[in-house]
């Protein structure tokens, strides 16, 4: 049903459409998380770095790819790769508000076995994570993002994540 070949094929299809798309490269920081109704103490300071490519950067609908690493809620390193899509829904002054979602694989050895037990997609120690997101982008390109991860386990009812990023390099 779900295997590595399908993930590779989906990423290849997504990136193949970029030849004619307006592309923006970004560098960013993972900042922290906020756990909803936690059953245990989590690390909510989650520093890390990522790079991303946004396709159709000036359009109402945009999508992209992101990869990075951060210190996770269990105070362990997490490496991840994800795809995202969002829509501009409003302008607030000179900033734009975007809503959308993300899906990707996150390295979580502490959760991978439980996820497999639930029948949730994993690739080794990488667990599929997906959820909605909200982005606020200033006219100068500075972006602040909030994502939400619904949690199926009993350790928390969900997790809000916080990131910021800026564009770099020439836009293609």
The token pair that represents 8 in the structure block? 């590779």
Per-residue pLDDT, 64: 97
For the chain, list the domains and their CATH numbers: 23-168 (2.40.160.20)
Average pLDDT of the chain is: 89
Q: Which residues contact 136 (CB under 8 A, 6 or more apart)?
A: 92, 95, 96, 97, 98, 143, 144, 145
CA 59 from centroid of its chain's CA atoms: 20
pLDDT, tens only, 133-146:
999 999 999 999 99
Phi, psi (deg, nearest 5) at residue 53 = -120, 125
Per-residue pLDDT, 157: 87
Q: Which of 79, 81, 97 is nearest to 89 (CA)?
A: 97
Q: Between residues 156 and 132, which one has the greater pLDDT?
A: 132
């Amino acid at each position: 049903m779900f295997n590595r070949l399908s993930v590779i094929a989906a990423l290849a299809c997504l990136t193949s459409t970029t030849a004619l798309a307006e592309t923006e490269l970004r560098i960013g920081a993972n900042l922290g998380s906020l756990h909803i109704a936690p059953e245990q103490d989590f690390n909510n300071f989650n520093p890390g770095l990522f790079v991303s490519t946004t396709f159709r950067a000036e359009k109402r609908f945009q999508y992209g790819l992101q990869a990075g690493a951060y210190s996770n809620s269990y105070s362990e390193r997490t490496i991840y790769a994800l795809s995202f899509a969002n829509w501009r829904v409003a302008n607030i002054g000179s900033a734009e508000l975007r809503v959308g979602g993300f899906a990707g694989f996150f390295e979580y050895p502490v959760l991978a076995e439980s996820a497999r037990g639930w029948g949730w997609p994993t690739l080794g120690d990488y667990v599929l994570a997906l959820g909605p997101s909200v982005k606020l982008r200033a006219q100068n390109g500075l972006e602040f993002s909030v994502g939400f991860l619904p949690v199926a386990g009993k350790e928390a009812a969900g997790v809000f994540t916080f990131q910021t990023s800026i564009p770099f390099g020439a836009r293609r």
